[in-house]
Amino acid sequence: MKVLIVGGGGREHALCWKIKQSILVKEIFCAPGNGGTALIAQNVPIKAEDVRGIVDFAKETKIDLVVIGPEAPLNLGLVDMLQKEGIMAFGPSKNSALLEGSKVFAKNIMRKYNIPTADFEVFDNPDLAKKYLLDKKAPIVVKADGLAAGKGVYVCKTTEEALNAIDDIMVKKIFGSAGDRLVIEECLEGEEASFLVFTDGKTVLPMDSSQDHKRVFDNDEGPNTGGMGAYSPAPVVTKEVFDKVMEKIIYPTIMGMEKEGCPFKGVLYAGLMIKDGEPYVLEFNTRFGDPEAQPLLMRIKNDIVPVLMGCIDGKLENEYLLWEQKHSVCVVIASGGYPGEYKKGYEIKGLDEIDNDEVYVFHAGTKLVDGKIYTDGGRVLGVTALGDTIKSAIDNAYDAVSKICFEGMHYRKDIGRRALARGDR
């Protein structure tokens, strides 16, 4: 098979790495890829959002399977366009991708099918939104309806912050048309977790649990980012919580989407808040998380290409997942200034000094030039390690991080600490 992976982040490098292990795959392309994918696949200079260019390339190159990493091309209808050309594409249709592409659509699905989530209201007028807000107590959450590169959610500690968020989204239009509508919802408290499943629209194949670290600094301080690290499994997702997530959230969502006439195929990602053993949905994503993909894919032992194809052709019931009975931790190394402004083009040194078989460095914002790796984005690397315990996985990851150097680099020092605090050594 010839496989094309769409995207250029750490998630896509991890997918390249895992799919390359398949005996079914002879050739891998990545569009646009990064410095890491260039070492194991053939990068193609086509942006992920250039859906017409991707379809044309897939046709010309006779690609057998396209795996789509980011949310933007899914919401632009890339899966639909590829399928129209007779090319297998892994991911949800444009209509199904609205679970991530529209906060309003997702919240209405949750309300209609009794899926536990925060209480909410939807507004398309900033004055009405502000009037509603004045009757509510902070903290409160304000969300732009559409895709906003992970920056459209405001967790507001005060009413003033929430009023400013409404101005940002609906008056200043800093997210463009993504802010034509917004959601105001209660602020849920507890511990967050990520729950991902493969599905063909009927059958569900759950992955193991994971937990992301969104804030840029230790102790969950500072602004939100695309994710500064993750680990799997997440001990907050006990067997009892796992069963509740499947029964109360995953199955009702999959069945609800089918009833709505847009069956969901691909990876469904439920961002959860766990409080007193009860799961609530914070948001849905319609693809692998980044960086959750890195520790999860490190732990899957079997070939995932049949799983991907089972999601596409409706035969997922015949597939399975084998999990490495180890812990996995991913520490993201970012450019100085991220998630704000940052400079690119610094040489990354020390990658060749990492010789631990249980460590793999997934590239995100990098480029390969004349045999050297340079920074080329905000989140630069995802240093991912296995270990028999969460502590050994953490130690392996940070030992590898200590060998890497580039100007201005920064990373969190506490990835996995919540798991340690639960007594999982």
Residue 303 β-bridge partners? none
pLDDT of residue 25: 98
Q: Is there a single domain that holds both residue 238 and residue 297?
A: yes
pLDDT of residue 424: 54
* CA-to-CA separations, 211 to 180, 220, 272, in angstroms, rounded: 31, 13, 10
Q: Domain span at residue 146?
A: 119-186
**Residue that terminates a domain, selected from 318, 352, 381:** 318
Q: Is there a single domain that holds both residue 295 and residue 339?
A: no
CATH number, domain with residue 15: 3.40.50.20
Which among 93, 417, 393, 13 is positioned nearest to 257, based on CA atoms? Answer: 93
- Is residue 370 one of the residues assigned to a domain? yes
- In the chain the first and final C-alpha atoms are separated, in Å, by 42
- Is residue 113 one of the residues assigned to a domain? no
- Is residue 112 one of the residues assigned to a domain? no
- Is residue 19 one of the residues assigned to a domain? yes
Give 247's DSSP letter.
I
- Is residue 384 one of the residues assigned to a domain? yes
Sign of CA dihedral 156, 161, 163, 165: negative
Yes or no: say if 158 and 133 are a contact pair by the CB < 8 Å rule. Answer: no
Residue type, position 143, single letter: K
Which among 41, 111, 106 is positioned nearest to 71, based on CA atoms? Answer: 106
Q: 10 Å Cβ neighbour count for 423?
A: 7
Radius of gyration over every alpha carbon of the chain, rounded to an integer in angstroms: 21
Tokens 């340079």, located at residue? 374
CATH number, domain with residue 414: 3.90.600.10
Burial class (CB in 10 A: 0-12, 13-18, 19+), 173: middle
Which among 380, 320, 316 is positioned nearest to 345, based on CA atoms? Answer: 380
- Is residue 102 one of the residues assigned to a domain? no
pLDDT of residue 230: 97
CATH number, domain with residue 159: 3.30.1490.20
**DSSP string across 179-245:** GSSEEEEE---SEEEEEEEEESSS-EEEPPPBEE--EEEGGGEEEE-S-SEEEES-TTS-HHHHHHH
Q: How far apart are CA 178 and CA 386, in angstroms?
A: 39
Q: How far apart are CA 173 and CA 398, in angstroms?
A: 40
Q: Is there a single domain that holds both residue 258 and residue 146?
A: no
Q: Is there a single domain that holds both residue 196 and residue 314?
A: yes
Q: Is there a single domain that holds both residue 87 and residue 204?
A: no
Q: How far apart are CA 257 and CA 253, in angstroms?
A: 6
pLDDT of residue 423: 63
**Residue that terminates a domain, selected from 259, 283, 318:** 318
pLDDT along the chain (425 residues), means of 10: 98 98 98 98 98 98 98 98 98 98 98 98 96 93 91 91 96 96 96 96 97 94 91 96 98 98 97 96 96 98 98 97 97 96 97 96 98 97 97 97 98 94 66
pLDDT of residue 174: 94
Q: What pLDDT, in 10s, does the model give residues 146-200?
A: 998 778 999 999 999 999 999 999 999 999 999 999 999 999 999 999 999 999 9
Q: Is there a single domain that holds both residue 238 and residue 302?
A: yes
Q: Is there a single domain that holds both residue 15 and residue 132?
A: no
Q: Is there a single domain that holds both residue 276 and residue 358?
A: no
- Is residue 244 one of the residues assigned to a domain? yes
Q: Is there a single domain that holds both residue 201 and residue 311?
A: yes
Q: Is there a single domain that holds both residue 215 and residue 308?
A: yes
Q: How far apart are CA 128 and CA 202, in angstroms?
A: 40
Q: Which ranges of 76-220 would DSSP assign to H, the alpha helix?
A: 78-84, 98-101, 103-112, 126-133, 159-166
* CA-to-CA separations, 418 to 216, 248, 249, 394, in angstroms, rounded: 16, 25, 24, 12
- Is residue 111 one of the residues assigned to a domain? no
Q: Is there a single domain that holds both residue 244 and residue 299?
A: yes
How many separate domains does the chain show? 4
Which among 205, 413, 238 is positioned nearest to 315, based on CA atoms? Answer: 205
Q: What pLDDT, in 10s, does the model give residues 215-237?
A: 999 999 998 888 999 999 999 99
Q: Is there a single domain that holds both residue 201 and residue 152?
A: no
**Residue that terminates a domain, selected from 318, 347, 382:** 318
